[in-house]
Homo-oligomer: A and B are copies of this chain.
């Protein structure tokens, strides 16, 4: 679990209601920052800004989802330090965007967003408890599982209407190489890859997100850019469709894998860099596999490839003596 108490962190204590409210806002911002594994409220604020650049609706949704799942955690009595670090916020934030992106944004969907964000806290607690045996973090798995249930449930619930984006998640099913990759594909793809972590296909959002990362950690920012670039090149080399490459569809999972393995979970050294690179190269393959495997169910891959690759590389690291786990996720 990532519990880095940075210098910007207020102490977790019982104070007046104003102090508590301020603390809650801080938890929410850190929750938004934790979407890219950063326990930093300024980073969270920049991420929110980056989303609002593209869409105010999604900005509001992320804030609401993060707040609901954090509040649920507080009501259920979860250790306050975990809530304050944003650990019970980021999945709710992502669920909110995903549900509003793939379902019709009507009143019922907003109710579902709040219900799903509350449920994600229970799923997060379950995974924390399950994975505690190996000291492995839950990552965004609660977001993936909870959101996917709502997407699948549209098949039975007549009032839950999906948008046209759901069935194939915007990716053409190609057996031949489609489109020609140009310099503009690569430039747009590079920043869209970062922007797509929050489902925002927008260059500016990508740049603002990168700036948010830079505030928290130069290594994380460099890893994100490198991750997006590697994914672009692999997808291009393997003959993926040009529009999907440009949209950053292959990038966002690699961005998260690169941040996690290259910038957060391991101390940097020669072996850990090669290890993170191997994982980043494998991610577009896993994205393609997961995305194709879920297509018959009409469910998008979301960040499941990131979760799977990072879990495998974290579990495996215990057999590789050259890789040193950072203290931040050992407790």
Q: A interface vs B, CB < 8 Å?
A: 76-79, 108, 115, 118-119, 122-130, 133-134, 148-161, 171, 173-178, 235, 237-241, 244, 271, 275, 278-279, 281-282, 285-293, 295-297, 299, 311-322
Min CB gap A320→B, angstroms: 5
Within the assembled complex, what's the spacing in Å between the Cα atoms of A295 and B155?
10
Residue of B nearest to A118 (CB): B278
Collect the chain B residues with CB atoms within 8 Å of residue A157's CB: 235, 238-240, 285, 288
Within the assembled complex, what's the spacing in Å between the Cα atoms of A290 and B137?
26
Contact check, A158 vs B297: say whether CB atoms are below 8 A apart: no
Collect the chain B residues with CB atoms within 8 Å of residue A161's CB: 175
Known: A152-B288, A155-B173. 7 other contacts (CB 8 A): A76-B319, A153-B285, A155-B288, A156-B288, A158-B177, A158-B239, A293-B297
Contact check, A77 vs B174: say whether CB atoms are below 8 A apart: no
Within the assembled complex, what's the spacing in Å between the Cα atoms of A233 and B274?
50
Number of copies: 3
26 A-B pairs (CB sep. < 8 Å): A77-B322, A79-B319, A108-B238, A115-B282, A122-B279, A122-B313, A123-B316, A125-B315, A125-B319, A125-B320, A126-B311, A130-B134, A130-B315, A133-B134, A152-B289, A152-B292, A155-B291, A155-B295, A156-B292, A157-B285, A158-B174, A159-B238, A159-B239, A160-B238, A292-B297, A296-B297
Collect the chain B residues with CB atoms within 8 Å of residue A286's CB: 149
A171 and B156 in contact, given A285-B149, A319-B79 (Cβ under 8 angstroms): yes
Contact check, B320 vs A281: say whether CB atoms are below 8 A apart: no
A122 and B158 in contact, given A130-B134, A271-B76, A289-B152 (Cβ under 8 angstroms): no
Contact check, A321 vs B155: say whether CB atoms are below 8 A apart: no
Residue of B nearest to A297 (CB): B293
Contact check, A312 vs B126: say whether CB atoms are below 8 A apart: yes
Contact check, B239 vs A281: say whether CB atoms are below 8 A apart: no
Min CB gap A99→B, angstroms: 12
Collect the chain B residues with CB atoms within 8 Å of residue A154's CB: 175, 292
A315 and B126 in contact, given A286-B149, A322-B77 (Cβ under 8 angstroms): yes
Q: Which listed residue, B123, B178, B240, B311, touches A312 by the CB 8 Å rule? A: B123
Contact check, B239 vs A149: say whether CB atoms are below 8 A apart: no
Contact check, A241 vs B153: say whether CB atoms are below 8 A apart: no
Residue of B nearest to A123 (CB): B312
Min CB gap A68→B, angstroms: 13
